[in-house]
A and B are shown apart, each in its own frame.
Chain A
């Protein structure tokens, strides 16, 4: 049996939910008020027979009272609470961050995975598993889902927003979302689950992960110093991705809240300011159980749902591993659709008019984005498990459209994944002597003294990994910079590489990414995190850096970059030729035979000559070569006569020439003494011929024929 909450607090809440006082319960049970008070203050617990009566009084069964893992259903029904408009007429509601992000599943993938990574349970050393489920609902399934989210209660709000759609960007998006659902009879749910993560712990309103996600918009709550910025601005992408501004949440907690861990459910809706039935609503709305402690018991709070409710909301989690499931209702991928259009819509016909095209595209884009942004976190090696595992699956009405696909980092970043794995396995080398090897080199990062002091606090050793690029890769000769959370913060091309350097890929690990044993690891981590802007896309001058260290502190990062580039050049590029050539560089360059395959191609002056274009040949019954050749003729010039010459290809020495037994014109030319004369004005000519077996020096099946057209002498 699951560990329930203590009886006292549980009973107190049930009384609150049902609106009963302790005295009323005492009266129903025929006991004194002091007895009930003693239970609630945990001084005693009721006898089993009394439990039975309590269950009856609360309108529930004895099991619920014993296990105390769910609330009795007797409380106020789950509903939507819309935040009222301000009496002063202010309209500053609305989630600014949600509007700042373009609906793009790739951005969503980045932000959600980053949050999950930060909330990973570190103690067990296991990766956090993140699964994306794209689920399209139509017909009855859609109707059932709409019922579960109490669509009828929301309908007037969406209608009010649609009425104003012409004036608001957000309104237009939401209007389009609602219309898509009704006109096409479909709704796309995108679910993001993480497992082995903290889950939304903490009180409904007070500081904690729950409040950070559900109640507050910009606050970030970080679990550790290497965090990327968990549940900060990035969580807004969840709502931005929903065309309906609606996200439902089910969390399994890593530490109990109200004595429970499983199925903590709440929904949050982001709509623009609106008036419904004469009441103004400021923006957000919450889907939950009304909180009896709030004024007029209107505000809704999270509730402990039973398995059936969770299933009807499409929020059922696999197993009891802690973590959170976000269900984005009406997921849209505007950027992805634009991409698809760029393909010229050819995938349309590929999939036989299958209307799952956009969910398939979303699936592909998610897989690609996860591989690109999180390849490092998904890479393990040696005795180190990866930090992250991700997968994507696509369903339609509970039936599989695309099987669950585990994202393999080696698909997007084959060479860098190899580099990082070699680092974890300890198989890196000092210098590259074989392709496929990974070389490492330490580069110093001098950390400044904090508080504006001059001088250096200590020297951290960052690590450069470099390996040859794979053929399939684009964006070559780049260094990916990353710290402890193994997210690529910066991608930079190494400048001024000598010509002819073979393509490579490199990774710079700094801070905790190098390992915990290197000196000043925490200081480096802290310093670089301060240098990272909210976009997490570079290290440089930031306010935090200036305030905690000094105005010039960012130069240390520039110096690191310089060190990295020179280390990479040293490892990847061949040394410049020692000593200068006599005669100087310029003359030396001018006197080089290129030996490029392009040399030897013909220079065309425009006048042109007849040239062989098509050739088919076979060996005839008598062992002769029979050829049919097509000649392309240049336009508008007097064409020289050409002699077709058949020779046998040899490795060295002169080619044996074969005599023609027969040579006949087919089209556009005449044959005269073994020479082709072309009919003026035609574009192409065809001729046929067979060789004279008598002139063959060896068996024909062992020969290779070369046919050429040569100009007659005297040109």
Chain B
């Protein structure tokens, strides 16, 4: 639980993106369709117009919670700032918003995103800062869920899709894949985003994965997907806990990129009943300590099964098979 030593607003700021335009290399501006951003998903996809842009200007509108402009408020000199922070490149950009009208709760403005500053996803938050108890620049309210600004994506989807590549392991220019020529798929979690390589040298595999047909083929397809997903989640989890930044006192720092997301989604199943931060410390202690790591493997396996929704799809597959059998008997 967090406690501030001064008075704050107890509700979050509501942030909306109102427009997005790109500055192209020739200096012209290209306003993007509003389908480039999604209020539901709270995501902006800057990659909809391809890669050829220099900067993007995102129009913003933020609504402060009630009480921000109250006459008897314990603060003064309220300013509202939009902050774009990129966990990967460590770039932080901020822009001041302006009040749409005196005494209004709505603040508007825009923030520029430079293409060269980002490789993937950055998060966009808004802070209301004010002078409280004679200390300037204190944050009195923030957005609760940041918007995601994705410099690459061509669809404003909040979920981060893992990369999937289809290559012939024997002939690939990625020479490191060649020793795995026997394997139908391999997970590489060392990149910016974990990548699943599907071996197109395995005959029929790519076709099965790409098929939309029904019947028995569909069941096999689903079974294969759950199998692959279980593998992938297990691999990325291990990769995430094996690659933690450690504080001087030996406790792990919660990662901010995809690894953090993986941990956030899976740790609750690995160490139930505690906050994810606490769960991460437990896992880290067991991994680096003398005992308990082996015992934890069962829980990690369980978490991967849950995350890959094996139980659910298996039930569907089995039900389908039973129906199919009944159909052939009658």
Enumerate chain A interface residues (CB-CB to B < 8 A).
431-437, 468, 500-503, 572-575, 577-578, 580-588, 590-597, 599-605, 607-609, 612, 615, 617, 619, 625, 627, 629, 649, 653-655, 657, 700-708, 710-711, 713, 715
**Contact A572 to B274, CB < 8 A, known contacts A583-B196, A587-B228:** no
B135-171 interface (Cβ within 8 A of A): 135, 144-145, 148, 154-162, 164-166
Cβ–Cβ contact B156 & A710, under 8 A:
no
Interface of chain A, main secondary structure: loop
Cβ–Cβ contact A434 & B18, under 8 A:
yes
Cβ–Cβ contact A704 & B158, under 8 A:
no
Cβ–Cβ contact B162 & A574, under 8 A:
no
Cβ–Cβ contact B251 & A654, under 8 A:
yes
Cβ–Cβ contact B35 & A572, under 8 A:
yes
- The chain A residue with its CB closest to the CB of B6 is A701
**Contact A704 to B5, CB < 8 A, known contacts A583-B198, A586-B221, A601-B268:** yes
Closest 9 CB pairs of A and B: A654-B247, A574-B35, A433-B31, A583-B164, A582-B166, A600-B264, A434-B19, A584-B209, A603-B268
- Across-interface contacts of A655 in B (CB, < 8 A): 247
Cβ–Cβ contact B1 & A707, under 8 A:
yes
- Across-interface contacts of A619 in B (CB, < 8 A): 5
- Across-interface contacts of B196 in A (CB, < 8 A): 583, 587, 591
- The chain B residue with its CB closest to the CB of A432 is B34
**Contact A700 to B5, CB < 8 A, known contacts A596-B158, A607-B273, A710-B278:** yes
Cβ–Cβ contact A603 & B165, under 8 A:
no
**Contact A591 to B2, CB < 8 A, known contacts A583-B209, A586-B222, A603-B268:** no
Q: Choose among A629, A705, A711 the residue that contacts B2 (Cβ–Cβ < 8 A).
A: A705
Enumerate chain B interface residues (CB-CB to A < 8 A).
1-6, 16-21, 31-36, 38-41, 48, 59, 61, 133, 135, 144-145, 148, 154-162, 164-166, 196, 198, 206, 209-212, 221-222, 225-226, 228-229, 232, 247-249, 251, 253, 258, 261-262, 264-265, 267-269, 272-278, 281-282, 285, 308-309
Cβ–Cβ contact B40 & A593, under 8 A:
no
Q: Smallest CB–CB gap between A482 and chain B, Å? A: 25
Subset of 11 A-B contacts with CB under 8 Å: A435-B34, A435-B61, A500-B38, A583-B196, A586-B225, A587-B228, A592-B160, A593-B160, A705-B2, A705-B3, A708-B278
List 14 other contacts, CB 8 Å, given A433-B32, A501-B38, A599-B264.
A433-B21, A434-B59, A435-B18, A501-B40, A574-B35, A574-B48, A575-B35, A583-B198, A583-B206, A594-B159, A609-B274, A649-B2, A654-B249, A704-B3
- The chain B residue with its CB closest to the CB of A570 is B35
- Across-interface contacts of A431 in B (CB, < 8 A): 33
Distance in angstroms between the alpha carbons of A35 and B37 in the assembled complex: 89
Q: Smallest CB–CB gap between B168 and chain A, Å? A: 12
Cβ–Cβ contact A587 & B261, under 8 A:
no
Distance in angstroms between the alpha carbons of A592 and B35 in the assembled complex: 21
- Across-interface contacts of A705 in B (CB, < 8 A): 2-3, 5
Distance in angstroms between the alpha carbons of A162 and B20 in the assembled complex: 70
- The chain A residue with its CB closest to the CB of B16 is A435
Distance in angstroms between the alpha carbons of A594 and B229 in the assembled complex: 14
**Contact A433 to B3, CB < 8 A, known contacts A574-B156, A590-B229, A591-B161:** no
